[in-house]
Amino acid sequence: MSITSINPASGETLATYPEMKLEESVKAIEKSDSAFLKWRTTSFQVRSEGLKSAAQHLRSDKEEFARLMTLEMGKPIKQARAEIEKCAWLCDYFAEMGQGFLKPELVKTDALKSYIAYEPLSVILAIMPWNFPFWQAFRAAVPALMAGNSVVLKHASNVPGCALAIQRVFKEAGFPEDLFKTLLISSSTALSLIEFPSIKGVTLTGSTEAGRAVGAKAGQFLKKCVLELGGSDPYVILEDAKLEEAAAVCVMSRLLNSGQSCIAAKRFIILESLRKHFEELCMEEMKKAVVGDPLQESTTVGPLARLDLTEALHRQVSQSLDKGAICLWKGSIPEGKGAFYPPTILTQVTQGMAAYTEELFGPVAAIISVKNEQEAIHVANETSYGLGAAVFTTDLKKGERVALEDLQAGSCFVNGNVKSDPRLPFGGIKESGFGRELSHIGIKEFVNCKTVYISP
Protein backbone atom coordinates (compact mmCIF):
# COMPACT_ATOMS: atom_id res chain seq x y z
CA MET A 1 0.00 0.00 0.00
CA SER A 2 1.09 3.56 -0.65
CA ILE A 3 0.03 7.14 0.02
CA THR A 4 -0.09 9.49 -2.97
CA SER A 5 0.07 13.28 -2.98
CA ILE A 6 -1.93 14.89 -5.82
CA ASN A 7 -2.00 18.56 -6.84
CA PRO A 8 -5.72 19.48 -6.72
CA ALA A 9 -5.22 22.42 -9.08
CA SER A 10 -3.90 20.23 -11.91
CA GLY A 11 -4.56 16.60 -11.00
CA GLU A 12 -0.82 15.94 -11.27
CA THR A 13 0.72 13.30 -9.02
CA LEU A 14 3.36 14.97 -6.85
CA ALA A 15 4.84 12.02 -4.96
CA THR A 16 4.08 8.56 -3.65
CA TYR A 17 5.12 7.30 -0.23
CA PRO A 18 5.04 3.79 1.26
CA GLU A 19 2.34 3.34 3.88
CA MET A 20 3.58 2.16 7.27
CA LYS A 21 2.23 -1.12 8.56
CA LEU A 22 0.79 -1.48 12.03
CA GLU A 23 3.90 -3.26 13.31
CA GLU A 24 6.16 -0.42 12.14
CA SER A 25 3.87 2.13 13.75
CA VAL A 26 3.92 0.32 17.08
CA LYS A 27 7.73 0.30 17.05
CA ALA A 28 7.73 4.03 16.31
CA ILE A 29 5.40 4.63 19.25
CA GLU A 30 7.63 2.60 21.55
CA LYS A 31 10.61 4.72 20.50
CA SER A 32 8.54 7.85 21.12
CA ASP A 33 7.72 6.56 24.59
CA SER A 34 11.42 6.05 25.29
CA ALA A 35 12.15 9.57 24.09
CA PHE A 36 9.40 10.84 26.40
CA LEU A 37 11.02 9.29 29.47
CA LYS A 38 14.05 11.50 28.92
CA TRP A 39 12.15 14.54 27.68
CA ARG A 40 9.91 14.73 30.73
CA THR A 41 12.98 15.38 32.90
CA THR A 42 14.23 18.30 30.79
CA SER A 43 13.84 21.84 32.08
CA PHE A 44 11.29 24.27 30.73
CA GLN A 45 14.22 26.31 29.46
CA VAL A 46 15.36 23.46 27.22
CA ARG A 47 11.84 22.96 25.90
CA SER A 48 11.45 26.68 25.34
CA GLU A 49 14.70 26.89 23.39
CA GLY A 50 13.52 24.02 21.20
CA LEU A 51 10.28 25.81 20.35
CA LYS A 52 12.10 29.08 19.62
CA SER A 53 14.40 27.19 17.28
CA ALA A 54 11.38 25.60 15.57
CA ALA A 55 9.94 29.08 15.04
CA GLN A 56 13.20 30.20 13.43
CA HIS A 57 13.22 27.18 11.09
CA LEU A 58 9.64 27.85 10.08
CA ARG A 59 10.40 31.44 9.19
CA SER A 60 13.67 30.72 7.40
CA ASP A 61 12.06 28.01 5.23
CA LYS A 62 8.68 29.73 4.92
CA GLU A 63 8.68 29.85 1.12
CA GLU A 64 9.47 26.16 0.80
CA PHE A 65 6.78 25.12 3.29
CA ALA A 66 4.17 27.46 1.85
CA ARG A 67 4.75 26.16 -1.66
CA LEU A 68 4.52 22.56 -0.47
CA MET A 69 1.23 23.31 1.27
CA THR A 70 -0.16 25.00 -1.84
CA LEU A 71 0.88 22.15 -4.12
CA GLU A 72 -0.57 19.43 -1.88
CA MET A 73 -3.92 20.93 -0.90
CA GLY A 74 -4.41 24.03 -3.03
CA LYS A 75 -4.19 26.81 -0.44
CA PRO A 76 -3.55 30.23 -2.06
CA ILE A 77 0.14 30.96 -1.61
CA LYS A 78 -0.30 34.18 0.38
CA GLN A 79 -2.51 32.35 2.87
CA ALA A 80 0.03 29.52 3.02
CA ARG A 81 2.77 31.95 4.04
CA ALA A 82 0.48 33.42 6.69
CA GLU A 83 -0.14 29.93 8.06
CA ILE A 84 3.58 29.31 8.49
CA GLU A 85 3.96 32.65 10.27
CA LYS A 86 1.10 31.74 12.60
CA CYS A 87 2.81 28.44 13.45
CA ALA A 88 5.99 30.33 14.32
CA TRP A 89 3.99 32.70 16.53
CA LEU A 90 2.47 29.68 18.27
CA CYS A 91 5.94 28.26 18.99
CA ASP A 92 7.18 31.59 20.35
CA TYR A 93 4.07 32.05 22.50
CA PHE A 94 4.28 28.71 24.28
CA ALA A 95 8.05 29.01 24.57
CA GLU A 96 7.44 32.20 26.55
CA MET A 97 4.31 31.26 28.48
CA GLY A 98 4.43 27.49 28.91
CA GLN A 99 6.37 27.36 32.15
CA GLY A 100 4.03 29.84 33.81
CA PHE A 101 0.97 27.94 32.63
CA LEU A 102 2.28 24.76 34.25
CA LYS A 103 3.60 26.27 37.46
CA PRO A 104 2.44 24.34 40.55
CA GLU A 105 -0.52 26.02 42.25
CA LEU A 106 -0.49 26.29 46.03
CA VAL A 107 -3.88 25.68 47.65
CA LYS A 108 -4.60 26.51 51.29
CA THR A 109 -6.06 23.54 53.14
CA ASP A 110 -5.62 22.00 56.59
CA ALA A 111 -2.39 20.41 55.33
CA LEU A 112 1.07 21.70 56.11
CA LYS A 113 1.37 22.14 52.37
CA SER A 114 -0.90 21.25 49.49
CA TYR A 115 -0.69 22.09 45.82
CA ILE A 116 -1.60 21.07 42.28
CA ALA A 117 1.24 19.90 40.03
CA TYR A 118 1.04 19.38 36.29
CA GLU A 119 2.88 16.34 34.92
CA PRO A 120 3.10 15.10 31.33
CA LEU A 121 1.31 11.87 30.36
CA SER A 122 3.48 10.23 27.67
CA VAL A 123 2.80 9.72 23.95
CA ILE A 124 -0.03 11.78 22.46
CA LEU A 125 -1.50 10.61 19.14
CA ALA A 126 -2.48 13.57 16.94
CA ILE A 127 -4.86 12.80 14.06
CA MET A 128 -4.94 15.91 11.90
CA PRO A 129 -6.78 17.19 8.78
CA TRP A 130 -5.56 18.59 5.49
CA ASN A 131 -7.19 22.03 5.44
CA PHE A 132 -4.56 23.77 7.59
CA PRO A 133 -1.82 21.16 7.26
CA PHE A 134 0.86 22.98 9.25
CA TRP A 135 -1.26 24.97 11.72
CA GLN A 136 -3.45 22.08 12.88
CA ALA A 137 -0.46 19.83 13.52
CA PHE A 138 1.52 22.52 15.32
CA ARG A 139 -1.54 23.59 17.31
CA ALA A 140 -1.79 20.06 18.69
CA ALA A 141 1.92 19.32 19.08
CA VAL A 142 3.46 22.51 20.49
CA PRO A 143 1.55 22.66 23.82
CA ALA A 144 1.93 18.91 24.27
CA LEU A 145 5.70 19.05 23.74
CA MET A 146 6.08 22.08 26.02
CA ALA A 147 4.21 20.16 28.72
CA GLY A 148 6.76 17.34 28.44
CA ASN A 149 4.89 14.84 26.29
CA SER A 150 5.97 13.22 23.05
CA VAL A 151 3.79 13.31 19.92
CA VAL A 152 3.10 10.97 17.01
CA LEU A 153 1.28 12.49 14.05
CA LYS A 154 -1.18 10.75 11.77
CA HIS A 155 -1.81 13.39 9.14
CA ALA A 156 -4.40 13.42 6.36
CA SER A 157 -3.44 11.10 3.51
CA ASN A 158 -3.42 13.89 0.89
CA VAL A 159 -0.70 15.96 2.64
CA PRO A 160 2.11 13.45 3.35
CA GLY A 161 4.78 15.88 2.21
CA CYS A 162 3.62 18.45 4.76
CA ALA A 163 3.55 15.77 7.46
CA LEU A 164 7.16 14.82 6.81
CA ALA A 165 8.22 18.48 6.58
CA ILE A 166 6.75 19.12 10.04
CA GLN A 167 8.76 16.22 11.43
CA ARG A 168 11.84 17.76 9.85
CA VAL A 169 11.19 21.11 11.54
CA PHE A 170 11.22 19.57 15.01
CA LYS A 171 14.29 17.46 14.21
CA GLU A 172 16.28 20.40 12.85
CA ALA A 173 15.17 22.50 15.81
CA GLY A 174 17.06 20.12 18.07
CA PHE A 175 14.25 18.09 19.60
CA PRO A 176 15.34 14.55 20.56
CA GLU A 177 15.06 11.83 17.95
CA ASP A 178 11.60 10.20 17.92
CA LEU A 179 10.07 12.77 20.30
CA PHE A 180 7.91 14.01 17.41
CA LYS A 181 7.24 11.36 14.79
CA THR A 182 5.14 11.38 11.62
CA LEU A 183 3.42 8.08 10.85
CA LEU A 184 2.30 7.62 7.24
CA ILE A 185 -0.61 5.33 8.09
CA SER A 186 -4.26 4.77 7.23
CA SER A 187 -7.16 5.93 9.37
CA SER A 188 -7.92 2.34 10.36
CA THR A 189 -4.34 1.85 11.56
CA ALA A 190 -4.57 5.08 13.57
CA LEU A 191 -7.71 3.78 15.29
CA SER A 192 -5.92 0.55 16.16
CA LEU A 193 -3.02 2.47 17.72
CA ILE A 194 -5.30 4.05 20.33
CA GLU A 195 -5.52 0.77 22.21
CA PHE A 196 -1.74 0.43 22.69
CA PRO A 197 -0.58 1.19 26.25
CA SER A 198 2.08 3.74 25.26
CA ILE A 199 -0.59 6.02 23.79
CA LYS A 200 -1.90 8.04 26.73
CA GLY A 201 -4.04 10.53 24.86
CA VAL A 202 -5.43 11.30 21.42
CA THR A 203 -6.35 14.60 19.81
CA LEU A 204 -8.32 14.79 16.59
CA THR A 205 -9.35 17.64 14.34
CA GLY A 206 -11.71 16.45 11.65
CA SER A 207 -15.27 15.56 10.78
CA THR A 208 -17.95 14.72 13.30
CA GLU A 209 -18.03 11.17 11.93
CA ALA A 210 -14.30 10.76 12.52
CA GLY A 211 -14.75 12.24 16.00
CA ARG A 212 -17.37 9.63 16.86
CA ALA A 213 -15.07 6.81 15.78
CA VAL A 214 -12.03 8.14 17.65
CA GLY A 215 -14.04 9.10 20.71
CA ALA A 216 -15.60 5.63 20.90
CA LYS A 217 -12.21 3.95 20.62
CA ALA A 218 -10.63 6.26 23.17
CA GLY A 219 -13.51 5.65 25.55
CA GLN A 220 -13.23 1.89 25.11
CA PHE A 221 -9.61 1.99 26.22
CA LEU A 222 -10.02 4.86 28.70
CA LYS A 223 -7.73 7.29 26.88
CA LYS A 224 -8.09 11.03 27.30
CA CYS A 225 -9.14 12.70 24.04
CA VAL A 226 -9.76 16.16 22.63
CA LEU A 227 -12.05 16.43 19.61
CA GLU A 228 -12.28 19.54 17.41
CA LEU A 229 -14.88 18.66 14.81
CA GLY A 230 -17.03 20.29 12.15
CA GLY A 231 -18.96 23.52 12.29
CA SER A 232 -21.74 25.41 10.55
CA ASP A 233 -20.96 28.80 11.97
CA PRO A 234 -23.75 31.39 12.00
CA TYR A 235 -22.97 35.06 11.43
CA VAL A 236 -25.92 37.08 12.76
CA ILE A 237 -26.36 40.56 11.32
CA LEU A 238 -28.60 42.68 13.55
CA GLU A 239 -30.72 45.61 12.41
CA ASP A 240 -28.25 48.27 13.59
CA ALA A 241 -25.17 46.64 12.04
CA LYS A 242 -22.97 48.42 9.52
CA LEU A 243 -24.04 46.33 6.55
CA GLU A 244 -21.08 47.11 4.30
CA GLU A 245 -18.59 46.06 6.97
CA ALA A 246 -20.61 43.02 7.96
CA ALA A 247 -20.87 41.82 4.35
CA ALA A 248 -17.13 42.27 3.82
CA VAL A 249 -16.27 40.26 6.94
CA CYS A 250 -18.82 37.55 6.18
CA VAL A 251 -17.59 37.00 2.62
CA MET A 252 -13.93 37.19 3.61
CA SER A 253 -14.51 34.56 6.28
CA ARG A 254 -16.53 32.38 3.91
CA LEU A 255 -13.83 32.41 1.23
CA LEU A 256 -10.77 32.03 3.49
CA ASN A 257 -8.86 28.87 2.62
CA SER A 258 -11.21 28.49 -0.36
CA GLY A 259 -14.06 27.97 2.09
CA GLN A 260 -12.44 24.95 3.70
CA SER A 261 -12.45 25.92 7.35
CA CYS A 262 -14.42 24.56 10.28
CA ILE A 263 -14.83 28.10 11.64
CA ALA A 264 -15.62 29.84 8.37
CA ALA A 265 -18.80 31.91 8.18
CA LYS A 266 -21.28 29.47 6.66
CA ARG A 267 -24.75 30.79 7.45
CA PHE A 268 -25.44 34.52 7.05
CA ILE A 269 -28.54 35.30 9.13
CA ILE A 270 -30.14 38.63 8.24
CA LEU A 271 -33.45 40.43 8.88
CA GLU A 272 -35.82 40.11 5.93
CA SER A 273 -36.11 43.90 5.74
CA LEU A 274 -32.35 44.12 5.09
CA ARG A 275 -31.93 41.00 2.98
CA LYS A 276 -31.92 42.49 -0.53
CA HIS A 277 -29.40 45.19 0.33
CA PHE A 278 -27.21 42.65 2.12
CA GLU A 279 -27.40 40.30 -0.86
CA GLU A 280 -26.20 43.08 -3.15
CA LEU A 281 -23.28 43.84 -0.82
CA CYS A 282 -22.31 40.17 -0.61
CA MET A 283 -22.44 39.91 -4.40
CA GLU A 284 -20.07 42.85 -4.72
CA GLU A 285 -17.62 41.21 -2.31
CA MET A 286 -17.88 37.78 -3.95
CA LYS A 287 -17.14 39.27 -7.38
CA LYS A 288 -13.82 40.58 -6.05
CA ALA A 289 -12.58 37.03 -5.49
CA VAL A 290 -9.85 35.85 -7.85
CA VAL A 291 -10.18 32.13 -8.57
CA GLY A 292 -7.25 30.37 -10.16
CA ASP A 293 -3.78 28.88 -9.79
CA PRO A 294 -3.07 28.99 -6.05
CA LEU A 295 0.62 29.62 -6.71
CA GLN A 296 -0.23 32.99 -8.28
CA GLU A 297 0.07 35.95 -5.91
CA SER A 298 -3.23 37.42 -7.09
CA THR A 299 -5.29 34.30 -6.39
CA THR A 300 -7.62 34.50 -3.40
CA VAL A 301 -9.61 31.28 -3.98
CA GLY A 302 -7.89 28.11 -5.08
CA PRO A 303 -9.22 24.60 -5.72
CA LEU A 304 -10.78 22.39 -3.11
CA ALA A 305 -8.37 19.81 -1.78
CA ARG A 306 -9.80 16.87 -3.77
CA LEU A 307 -12.18 16.28 -6.67
CA ASP A 308 -14.55 14.22 -4.54
CA LEU A 309 -14.95 17.20 -2.19
CA THR A 310 -15.99 19.37 -5.14
CA GLU A 311 -18.58 16.82 -6.17
CA ALA A 312 -19.92 16.46 -2.62
CA LEU A 313 -20.24 20.24 -2.25
CA HIS A 314 -22.11 20.52 -5.54
CA ARG A 315 -24.55 17.81 -4.45
CA GLN A 316 -25.35 19.92 -1.37
CA VAL A 317 -25.86 23.02 -3.53
CA SER A 318 -28.04 21.12 -6.00
CA GLN A 319 -30.16 19.61 -3.23
CA SER A 320 -30.73 23.04 -1.74
CA LEU A 321 -31.72 24.48 -5.11
CA ASP A 322 -34.09 21.58 -5.74
CA LYS A 323 -35.83 22.42 -2.46
CA GLY A 324 -36.33 26.09 -3.29
CA ALA A 325 -33.12 27.97 -2.56
CA ILE A 326 -32.12 30.63 -5.09
CA CYS A 327 -28.58 30.90 -6.47
CA LEU A 328 -27.50 34.53 -6.71
CA TRP A 329 -23.98 33.85 -7.93
CA LYS A 330 -22.25 30.93 -9.70
CA GLY A 331 -23.18 27.54 -8.17
CA SER A 332 -21.86 25.16 -10.84
CA ILE A 333 -18.68 23.15 -11.37
CA PRO A 334 -16.53 24.91 -13.98
CA GLU A 335 -15.13 23.13 -16.98
CA GLY A 336 -11.45 22.26 -17.09
CA LYS A 337 -8.98 20.50 -14.89
CA GLY A 338 -8.64 20.85 -11.17
CA ALA A 339 -10.94 20.57 -8.17
CA PHE A 340 -12.30 24.10 -8.48
CA TYR A 341 -15.65 25.35 -7.22
CA PRO A 342 -16.63 29.00 -7.70
CA PRO A 343 -17.58 31.38 -4.89
CA THR A 344 -21.33 30.89 -4.60
CA ILE A 345 -24.22 32.61 -2.84
CA LEU A 346 -27.46 30.82 -2.05
CA THR A 347 -30.35 32.81 -0.65
CA GLN A 348 -33.83 32.05 0.68
CA VAL A 349 -32.30 29.05 2.40
CA THR A 350 -34.75 27.36 4.76
CA GLN A 351 -35.06 24.38 7.09
CA GLY A 352 -34.75 21.03 5.33
CA MET A 353 -32.13 22.18 2.83
CA ALA A 354 -28.56 20.89 2.95
CA ALA A 355 -27.31 24.49 3.04
CA TYR A 356 -29.34 25.04 6.22
CA THR A 357 -28.59 21.88 8.18
CA GLU A 358 -25.23 20.58 6.89
CA GLU A 359 -21.69 21.91 6.90
CA LEU A 360 -20.74 23.28 3.47
CA PHE A 361 -16.98 22.78 3.20
CA GLY A 362 -16.22 25.08 0.34
CA PRO A 363 -16.81 28.67 -0.89
CA VAL A 364 -20.62 28.57 -0.67
CA ALA A 365 -22.54 31.07 1.48
CA ALA A 366 -26.10 30.47 2.66
CA ILE A 367 -28.24 33.55 3.35
CA ILE A 368 -31.11 32.94 5.75
CA SER A 369 -33.66 35.67 6.40
CA VAL A 370 -35.53 36.10 9.68
CA LYS A 371 -38.23 38.40 11.04
CA ASN A 372 -36.49 39.69 14.16
CA GLU A 373 -33.55 39.34 16.52
CA GLN A 374 -35.22 36.60 18.55
CA GLU A 375 -35.70 34.45 15.47
CA ALA A 376 -32.13 35.18 14.37
CA ILE A 377 -30.77 33.75 17.62
CA HIS A 378 -33.06 30.74 17.33
CA VAL A 379 -31.88 30.00 13.78
CA ALA A 380 -28.23 30.52 14.74
CA ASN A 381 -28.55 27.89 17.47
CA GLU A 382 -30.74 25.56 15.40
CA THR A 383 -27.81 23.36 14.44
CA SER A 384 -26.13 20.26 15.74
CA TYR A 385 -22.81 22.13 15.64
CA GLY A 386 -21.34 24.62 18.09
CA LEU A 387 -17.83 25.62 17.07
CA GLY A 388 -17.98 29.34 16.32
CA ALA A 389 -20.47 32.16 15.86
CA ALA A 390 -20.45 35.91 15.29
CA VAL A 391 -22.83 38.81 15.73
CA PHE A 392 -22.71 42.22 14.03
CA THR A 393 -24.12 45.35 15.69
CA THR A 394 -23.11 48.92 16.50
CA ASP A 395 -24.41 48.43 20.05
CA LEU A 396 -21.39 46.77 21.65
CA LYS A 397 -23.20 46.04 24.92
CA LYS A 398 -25.91 44.23 23.01
CA GLY A 399 -23.31 42.42 20.93
CA GLU A 400 -21.49 41.23 24.04
CA ARG A 401 -24.77 40.07 25.59
CA VAL A 402 -25.70 38.10 22.48
CA ALA A 403 -22.22 36.57 22.25
CA LEU A 404 -22.05 35.70 25.94
CA GLU A 405 -25.62 34.69 26.74
CA ASP A 406 -27.40 33.76 23.53
CA LEU A 407 -25.11 32.16 20.96
CA GLN A 408 -24.28 28.50 21.58
CA ALA A 409 -20.68 27.95 20.47
CA GLY A 410 -17.16 27.57 21.78
CA SER A 411 -16.00 30.89 20.28
CA CYS A 412 -18.33 33.87 19.85
CA PHE A 413 -17.09 37.06 18.19
CA VAL A 414 -18.61 40.53 17.95
CA ASN A 415 -18.10 42.46 14.68
CA GLY A 416 -15.32 40.14 13.49
CA ASN A 417 -14.63 36.79 11.90
CA VAL A 418 -14.08 33.80 14.16
CA LYS A 419 -10.43 32.77 14.32
CA SER A 420 -8.07 30.82 16.53
CA ASP A 421 -5.45 32.60 18.63
CA PRO A 422 -2.71 30.97 20.76
CA ARG A 423 -3.75 33.18 23.69
CA LEU A 424 -7.36 31.99 23.73
CA PRO A 425 -8.88 28.52 24.21
CA PHE A 426 -10.27 26.95 21.05
CA GLY A 427 -12.85 24.19 20.65
CA GLY A 428 -16.54 23.47 20.37
CA ILE A 429 -19.68 22.10 21.96
CA LYS A 430 -22.44 19.77 20.75
CA GLU A 431 -21.35 17.84 17.64
CA SER A 432 -18.39 20.17 17.18
CA GLY A 433 -16.57 18.19 19.86
CA PHE A 434 -15.16 18.72 23.32
CA GLY A 435 -11.96 19.72 25.04
CA ARG A 436 -9.86 22.77 24.24
CA GLU A 437 -6.65 23.59 22.43
CA LEU A 438 -4.37 26.62 22.91
CA SER A 439 -3.99 29.02 25.87
CA HIS A 440 -3.38 27.98 29.47
CA ILE A 441 -6.43 25.72 29.23
CA GLY A 442 -5.28 23.80 26.15
CA ILE A 443 -1.81 23.02 27.47
CA LYS A 444 -3.40 21.31 30.49
CA GLU A 445 -5.53 18.91 28.45
CA PHE A 446 -2.76 16.32 28.26
CA VAL A 447 -1.21 16.52 31.72
CA ASN A 448 -1.88 14.81 35.01
CA CYS A 449 -3.32 17.45 37.34
CA LYS A 450 -1.80 15.92 40.44
CA THR A 451 -2.80 16.82 43.99
CA VAL A 452 0.09 16.78 46.45
CA TYR A 453 -0.92 16.92 50.14
CA ILE A 454 1.66 17.03 52.95
CA SER A 455 0.67 16.52 56.58
CA PRO A 456 2.87 17.60 59.50
Residues of the chain with pLDDT under 70: none
2-229+429-454 in CATH: which number? 3.40.605.10
Q: What angle do CA 104, 109, 112 make, to 5 degrees?
A: 80
SS3 state at 82: helix
Given this model, what pLDDT does residue 170 score?
A: 98
Given this model, what pLDDT does residue 370 score?
A: 98
- The domain locations on the chain are 2-229+429-454, 233-414
Q: What ranges make up the beta strands (E) of 121-163?
A: 123-127, 150-154
For residue 74, which of 117, 130, 129 has the smallest C-alpha distance?
Answer: 130
- List residues with catalytic annotation: 228, 262
Given this model, what pLDDT does residue 331 score?
A: 85
Distance, CA of 122 to chain centre: 24
As separate numbers, helices (DSSP H) first and strands (DSSP E) second, the chain gives: 15, 18
d(CA 421, CA 433): 18
Given this model, what pLDDT does residue 322 score?
A: 98
One-character DSSP codes across 92-114: HHHHHHHHHHT--EE--SSSSEE
One-character DSSP codes across 312-325: HHHHHHHHHHHTT-
What pairing do the DSSP bridges indicate for beta strands 364-370 and 265-271? parallel
d(CA 285, CA 308): 27
Q: What angle do CA 420, 131, 176 make, to 5 degrees?
A: 80
SS3 state at 359: coil
d(CA 324, CA 364): 16
Question: Under CATH, domain 233-414 is a member of which superfamily?
Answer: Aldehyde Dehydrogenase; Chain A, domain 2 (3.40.309.10)
What pairing do the DSSP bridges indicate for beta strands 199-205 and 123-127? parallel
Given this model, what pLDDT does residue 291 score?
A: 97
Residues 146 and 174: beta-carbon distance below 8 Å: no
Distances (CA, A) of 215 to 73, 181, 204, 386, 434: 27, 22, 9, 17, 10
Given this model, what pLDDT does residue 1 score?
A: 86
